[in-house]
Amino acid sequence: MASGGVTGRLARAVPLMNDNHNVIANRFRGFLPVIVDVETGGFNARTDALLEIAAVTLEVDPEAGWRRQATFAFHVRPFPGANLERRALEFNKIDPFHPFRLAVEEGEAMKEVFAAVRRQINLHACTRAILVGHNPAFDLAFVKAAADRCGIKDMPFHNFSTFDTAALSGVAYGQTVLARAVRAAGFKWDPAAAHSAIYDAERTADLFCSIVNRWDQAIGIPQD
């Protein structure tokens, strides 16, 4: 988003419904799936600015199955010396220096997001988080580069493994483009809201949950 939006530590939270916190750990071999989307000033994670980050945590409702639990999101100030590609900014429509962005330093954003993820890891007795994204190699590269710049050694995400909703939705719905996959899964897609970290992360989370629920129902994996 060019201005405004969620810059606090928690947004769109819903109460945790299931009492058995180990349901999530048992489903993915101890990994905690966390949906992440970043908006950036280019494609090079080492040189280009991280401008927005959103992370969505999940819960399991015994009746509804997997669903979004909370969204943690920040607008981020470009790190000193960061490169900003004009085409990237035209695409995501972000003005990095807009006074109403209420952006925070990269270190604060990463520490807050990582702390939220670690709390969920502990809550669900998981061993590590695994980044879920639509073509997630891009997002993971920027998360890792930001962590390195900020001197964060204990990143909660797996260092290289990810869940790719582009691949999963290709199998489940025959669509690999995020907008088309979201619509195929039965959700609305707002082109005007797309390419903000919050919107894309939450739609990706809905898509991931839809695929997991569809699979679990098909093969009879319990939700409690």
CB 156 within 8 A of CB 29: no
Structure token pair of residue 188: 């609305």
Rounded CA gap, 217 and 210, in Å? 11
CA nearest neighbour of 132 among 50, 78, 45, 211? 211
Whether 75 sits among the annotated catalytic residues: the reply is: no
What one-letter code names the amino acid at 166?
A
CA nearest neighbour of 158 among 181, 185, 136, 186? 136
List residues bridging with 145 in a β-sheet: none
The one catalytic residue in 21, 98, 158, 195 is 195
Rounded CA gap, 27 and 211, in Å? 14
Rounded CA gap, 15 and 153, in Å? 31
Catalytic residue ranges? 195
